[in-house]
Structure 1
């Protein structure tokens, strides 16, 4: 069986030399070299997701690979893919480097300049170790990328004040409520608000773990605050200047330890990029970027995404943007945000309803938000979309259900209950709606009848004046003209015509119909008009 080897080298000359020598080794299949740590982890993730058998037996890591330091990269590869043998390629073969490489999990070091015999020996030893490890693990699906434990979800803000901490807290609470073990980490090291949002006062923080090389379960437990909601909290330091003590390597170590002990690790990265938050975003299984529907926030989101790409932290297409404080009438919608930032956008948006949050935020009781509130429902629906909510299987009865009938986010179940509540509310309010519509229609008929009576009186007065001036029957002409200008349903109106001095006056009394023309409602309206007489009467 041939040995598959994946070289990792940013130097093109070294990469060519490695491939050239590897191709000369018997029973080996050297793959095309990858240039950096991000490309390596992406490649291994793709292979592991297809099948653990697709993973290479040996990975050669050059000491100057970036952006993640070589030893940290080796540690991450060994932790996530334990069946892969990793060899460090370095010019320094001293005891210090060898010890550090062994501590990181490397199976050996390969000295530079490259030599055929040394390369053959190191590759053979690493391949034998990988084969033994695969036999031990049985090549089960659990021995692939998922062997490192739970998921890591980072929540970053396009700028300050967009709702990053609220989103992180509610997503963690939603996952916790579904039965998962959840750790909430505040990596907004200078301005972290998780403690304030949850009304927590705790003297330990992530800084206490930064200088510890071996994070045992006991050490980790002592540094975390067990919140009454069930969340495990790792808070930011009370003194913001101490946040610099949490380095990139410390952040990777902390998140790796938490990941191994929790189903989900939610990380609040804030809106400022630090070494620790950059490491978290790079390691995350899913990275969220919270943005509000205003021009400044969208521009900030675009800058953040471009910054992540330039630093090779995360690609735009691997980032999911969440639109907070969304209104349907706003000009900025999810499609526009996606087009500007180049990222994917969550289908679920969080509505703008600050009044629901003001009391809970001021009291530090964000975990007690009203379950009927639109903001909480929106954030928990987002958790369902992200797959953070687990739906327990329900026992089936006598009838067989279709496959997948009990799968999906819990928000689907909640929506069914909401639909039932809406139906009951509609049934209760529908009669009131009918009454209001009826009253409005009756008022419209009343006004229409009055306008008809006034117009008929005006036409009758003018016709009567003209008839009197011509020596004809003024009253008859007046009544005929007034009747002619009344619709059929109002033809029974009482019309009174007669002169009074120099003014010929007409009065029309029309009956107001009840809901429908022709139905007598018992009300009448009166329209009066007058016209000056012409000549002597």
Structure 2
């Protein structure tokens, strides 16, 4: 049996050294190295979407990989692709790192400088473990190919553009179609999901922040079951507790939700911090909500450039949603696409705040009238993004029929990939 190995090494010289040594191992097939954490996860997700058999048996993660730290990357790979054996390449052979790597899900460590015998032994052990897991799964690709549920993040170009409105109704549309859906409020200091859905619940994201291994029972204790059918994980009521939710804890929380729910919608607000940056990087679909005005579009461009500089998300992997759109609007979606360099959803959300005022004021956003043009547009957007099941009637009413200039590209992007707002300004109008 040939062992397929995928190295994740950022430094070019280190990558050449690893490949040279791997090529000497018997019955191995090393792939071209990937240069960062995002490329590694994307590559594995693309392979898993085709078949379990397409995944490499072993992934080597170099300690200096970035932008996600090596241990956090190992944890994510282990959670999303459990049939892959992960080995850490490190210069630290101490018991502390060994224990941390094992806790993260690594199957072994190889110390620098690399030696043939040690590398061969660790690769063989990891490959045997991966083969055992795959036998246990019985070749059922669906158990791994989905790497858990789909994660969709919703971020605002600035405050008040309709971020929470969009996130809530995308989640409601998915839940109404029969998908097991979680809605997460990651706007840590100004989250309004609880206010918009008339919820008073004492548990929040902050209660999970210090937990390294989130079990299904612990997660269930922190999640609120809403009357709409959504599972809610709320922002802390005390804004200062938002600092407890780090990028590392956010990865663990989103990963735990992804393993339990078909769809996880994350309201990231409009202020960037480590936690929502981690969620956006992990997302299968990253939405950026803007209104068609100069200030908001400039904000959208600023966000896209920030994500690119921090290697969180590429512009072409971001989908912009235009809220409060009218035919007479001077700034059209095509112009927004050119300015931001992002994809633009074919479905736009109309400016109709009067439809929203009653449900916003009463905190009953889930009771928005079925005849509302805003609701029709947002549920059509959910269908365009393939968040609802195919039989859902919202899919038949979708306007715009896909991305402008690339029909169906959002769904293909989702399959390949595997920051606050107030109630008086949120939403269309």
- Give, in whole Å, the separation in 1 of the partners of 2:4 and 2:200: 52
Shift of 1:153: 0.9
Q: Of the two structures, which has the highest relative contact order with CA contacts closer than 8 Å and spacing of 6 or more? A: 2
Shift of 1:415: 7.8
CA distances 1:498-536 after superposition (whole Å, capped 9, x unpaired)? xxxxxxxxxxxxxxxxxxxxxxxxxxxxxxxxxxxxxxx
Name the structure 1 match of 2:394: 411
CA 1:131–1:168 in 2, change beyond 3 Å: closer, same or farther? same
CA distances 1:322-377 after superposition (whole Å, capped 9, x unpaired)? 00000011111111111111111111100000111112111111111111011111
Unaligned runs of 5+ in 1: 393-408, 417-537
- Give, in whole Å, the separation in 2 of the partners of 1:234 and 1:82: 25
Name the structure 2 match of 1:448: none
C-alpha contact 1:181 1:263 (8 A) present in aligned 2? yes
Shift of 1:414: 5.1
Name the structure 1 match of 2:381: 382
- Give, in whole Å, the separation in 1 of the partners of 2:216 and 2:30: 39
Name the structure 2 match of 1:467: none
- TM-score between both structures, scaled by the size of structure 1: 0.72
Name the structure 2 match of 1:254: 253
Name the structure 2 match of 1:27: 27
- TM-score between both structures, scaled by the size of structure 2: 0.90
Name the SS for the 1:46 alignment partner. helix
Name the structure 1 match of 2:416: none
- Give, in whole Å, the separation in 2 of the partners of 1:72 and 1:78: 10
- Give, in whole Å, the separation in 2 of the partners of 1:305 and 1:414: 30
C-alpha contact 2:322 2:349 (8 A) present in aligned 1? yes
- Give, in whole Å, the separation in 2 of the partners of 1:21 and 1:262: 41
Name the structure 2 match of 1:69: 69
- Give, in whole Å, the separation in 1 of the partners of 2:385 and 2:276: 21
Unaligned runs of 5+ in 2: 400-429
TM superposition outliers: structure 1 runs of 4+ over 6 Å: none
- Give, in whole Å, the separation in 1 of the partners of 2:249 and 2:398: 42
Name the SS for the 1:144 alignment partner. helix
The answer as to 2:149 corresponding to 1:150 is: yes
Name the structure 1 match of 2:279: 280
Alignment of 1:102-501 (within 5 A): 102-146=102-146, 148-392=147-391, 410-413=393-396
C-alpha contact 2:182 2:261 (8 A) present in aligned 1? yes
What is the number of equivalent residue pairs in this alignment? 399
C-alpha contact 2:307 2:313 (8 A) present in aligned 1? yes
**Highest Rg: 1 or 2?**
1
Name the structure 1 match of 2:101: 101
Name the structure 1 match of 2:54: 54
Shift of 1:83: 1.7
